[in-house]
Amino acid sequence: MYPTPLDGLARNPGAPIPILLKLLDTDSAFEFHFRRHMPVELIDAMVAHPRPRVRRILAENPHVSDKQRARLVYDPDPSVRATIAAGDTDAARGRLTLPPEAYEVLISDEDAGVRQALTDTPRLPEHLWQILLADPDPAVHRSAMLRLAPQRPDVAAALVDDPSVPDWYQGTLLSAAALPSDRFVRLASDPNIDVRAAVAANRYLPHDLLLALGHDPEPSVRLAASMNPLLTEEERATIDYTIRPHDRVWPPAWWFDCLDDLRLMRQAAESAHLGLRRAAAYSPYLPPDQLTRLAGDDDFIVRLLIAENHPDAPGELLVSTTIESQFITKYDQIHHRNFPHAGLAARVASSPDPHTRLLAVFDPTAPASLIEALSREFPSSNASRDPRLPLDRVLELYADDETAPVAAQNPLLPMEKMLEILNLR
């Protein structure tokens, strides 16, 4: 439930333009960060709004088109331009992008903070990275080096001995850097377990050292070595490692810059190693045969990662992982383009799990009587936002202080109640 009815009103898809424009001058304008339905009139008003905070909110909304967001590259406030430049650092899912010409403008921005923010943008064209690496501002140059290190072994190597690199980043460098053999020898016997584990994940590690680290006394080092793509499946099978179903197993940082390397992804997807199959499931570029293979994997996390990351994830997989998931991201795949909404209610309405029963709300064919019943069982849920509710039920929810914020999101809420919310702020 959102804190106030005013916050709920900002998310109401039925709120008319005059109401939305009034909300821009309230603290609840922050809710436009999440709003899916963004009318052109609202976007125009946000682009021209005198408060930079409002313009930054628009810059961060993933439901606004690239073209509309690109209007902010000329914003007078550098914090707004930096927000546009940074985009979304999640390279695999839902990243915010801009048209190519927008990046050409931002790369020449007079404010170093804006140029530095560009280093957070995944998959910038190579010529822009070269400009950032040559930037005269030390902070911009350093940020570009740190961002490129996982995918550029030469950059990682140049930073390994840099005392100004934060300690938490050393593992990323050691797992990515192409280093001299004698340096690898010293690192492979380092007394620090984290150092050995990072080196064990390095693709440039001499093969004999990798095999030795596969028999390290520390489980974390052996696990890292077992996931190194330099090993054959036979060599991997000789390593004593353990991955339990609920263990979190993270690939090295360099892996996420190689998700479009289909040879590497195929090797991982076809491996008997559970950690590698999970790593492959992060890739949104998997071809159909590998997608099918991993969508049918025995491991729930593999299947869930496919559902979360692949644009062509099968509909049945999206439904089954949503039902089975116990994570806070349970409902994230509802808006996936392949999610089969129709018929969902019949499948979940009698489930003993309340979170699963609530999925019925996302079925456009679900009867109004079921939606109302769910709104009574779970009054602060999506059911109370649903336009299939009878108006008297919406008003009943609105009259209750606890459920008024969620009722304020219902498009059936009468105009006089919306105005009442504005006047009570």
The model's pLDDT over 376-394, given as tens digits with 9 standing for 90+, comes to: 999 999 999 999 999 999 9
Neighbours of 275 (CB within 10 A): 20
**Tens digit of pLDDT for each residue in 179-222?**
999 999 999 999 999 999 999 999 999 999 999 999 999 999 99
pLDDT at 313 over 60: yes
Is residue 221 within 8 A of residue 197, CB to CB? The reply is: yes
Residue 396 pLDDT level (bands cut at 50, 70, 90)? very high
- Rounded to whole angstroms, how far apart are CA atoms 402 and 379? 9
Sign of the Cα pseudo-torsion (228, 232, 235, 236, in order): positive
**Tens digit of pLDDT for each residue in 64-94?**
998 999 999 999 999 999 999 987 644 334 4
pLDDT at 1 over 60: no
Which contacts of 48-53 are long-range, i.e. CB under 8 A and separated by 24 or more positions? 49/24, 52/77, 52/79, 52/80, 53/29
Residue 96 pLDDT level (bands cut at 50, 70, 90)? low
The C-alpha torsion from 330 through 273 and 283 to 87, rounded to 10°, is: 70
pLDDT at 350 over 90: no
- Rounded to whole angstroms, how far apart are CA atoms 257 and 204? 16
- Nearest Cα residue to 119 out of 92, 93, 150: 150
Is residue 404 within 8 A of residue 418, CB to CB? The reply is: no
- Rounded to whole angstroms, how far apart are CA atoms 406 and 3? 9
pTM over 0.85, yes/no:
yes
Residue 423 pLDDT level (bands cut at 50, 70, 90)? confident
Residue 425 pLDDT level (bands cut at 50, 70, 90)? low
What's the confidence (pLDDT) of residue 23?
95
Name 342's Cβ contacts closer than 8 Å, sequence gap at least 6: 363, 364, 365
What's the confidence (pLDDT) of residue 2?
53
When pLDDT is averaged across residues 255-275 and rounded to a whole number, the result is 96
